[in-house]
């Protein structure tokens, strides 16, 4: 399968609307209607100094979408969506490897890249680990789902120096030893 990444163009709003509204996104917060997507696109939420969006093309078909956010900060974040029909084929892993290399190459001032997912999104969590991202946060019951269930939110990040060296530096999860309880 041939995978490529094509920058979203403002004349592709209707395909973007279709992509975001005609598919179920079980691990993404909130729902989007067609008018909301159009309005957000007009406001620059898919293309601006702060945001770049790319189609993930698999054998020429729009199989996914990568939205890179907070690009004027030294710690950008991303949103990755792969259509149901294309999930489980390694596209997410290729997309995270691509976006990591793209961000560190195109934006030399960034020091780290962050991503967040729900605790029960096992596929995305595996992609983070395979891609050299370290778990950095665990927020209990922080991600509400439409049915009212609250899920834990898990944050991952990769440091530029880890990406360059091919290593993973985990946070010091034992840093509270010796701190007295009050």
- CA atoms in the 13 A half-sphere facing the CB of 60: 0
Q: Which helix (H) or strand (E) holds 41?
A: helix 34-42
Whether 30 has a pLDDT exceeding 80, the answer reads: no
Cα Rg of the chain (Å, integer): 17
Residue of 137, 89, 100, 132 whose CA lies nearest to 117: 137
Per-residue model confidence as pLDDT tens digits over 143-159: 888 788 999 999 999 99
The CATH topology of domain 3-165 is Aminopeptidase (3.40.630)
**Alpha carbon distance, N-terminus to C-terminus of the chain:** 57
Which residue is it, tokens 């010796």?
Answer: 178
Domain extent listing, the chain: 3-165
Q: Longest Cα pair distance anywhere in the chain, in angstroms?
A: 59
SS3 8: coil
Whether 24 has a pLDDT exceeding 90, the answer reads: no
When the pLDDT of each residue in the chain is averaged and rounded to a whole number, the result is 93
Burial of 163 (0-12, 13-18, 19+ CB in 10 A): buried
Per-residue model confidence as pLDDT tens digits over 77-100: 999 999 999 999 999 999 999 999
Chain centroid to CA 58: 18
Whether 181 has a pLDDT exceeding 80, the answer reads: no
In angstroms, the Cα distances linking 112 to 43, 73, 129, 141 are 26, 10, 15, 25
């Amino acid at each position: 399968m041939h995978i490529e990444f094509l920058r979203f163009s403002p004349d592709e709003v209707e395909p973007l609307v279709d992509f975001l509204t005609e598919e179920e996104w079980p691990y993404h917060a909130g729902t989007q209607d067609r008018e909301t997507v159009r309005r957000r696109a007009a406001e620059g939420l898919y293309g601006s100094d702060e945001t770049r969006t790319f189609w993930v093309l698999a054998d020429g078909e729009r199989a996914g979408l990568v939205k890179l956010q907070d690009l004027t900060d030294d710690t950008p974040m991303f949103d990755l969506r792969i259509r149901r029909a294309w999930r489980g084929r390694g596209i997410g892993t290729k997309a995270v490897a691509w976006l990591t290399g793209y961000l560190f190459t195109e934006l030399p001032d960034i020091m780290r890249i962050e991503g967040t997912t729900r605790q029960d999104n096992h596929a995305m969590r595996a992609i983070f680990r395979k891609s050299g991202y370290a778990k950095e946060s665990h927020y209990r019951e922080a991600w509400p789902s439409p049915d009212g269930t609250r899920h834990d939110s898990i944050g991952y990040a990769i440091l530029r120096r880890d990406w360059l060296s091919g290593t993973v530096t985990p946070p010091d999860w034992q840093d509270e030893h010796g701190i007295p309880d009050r």
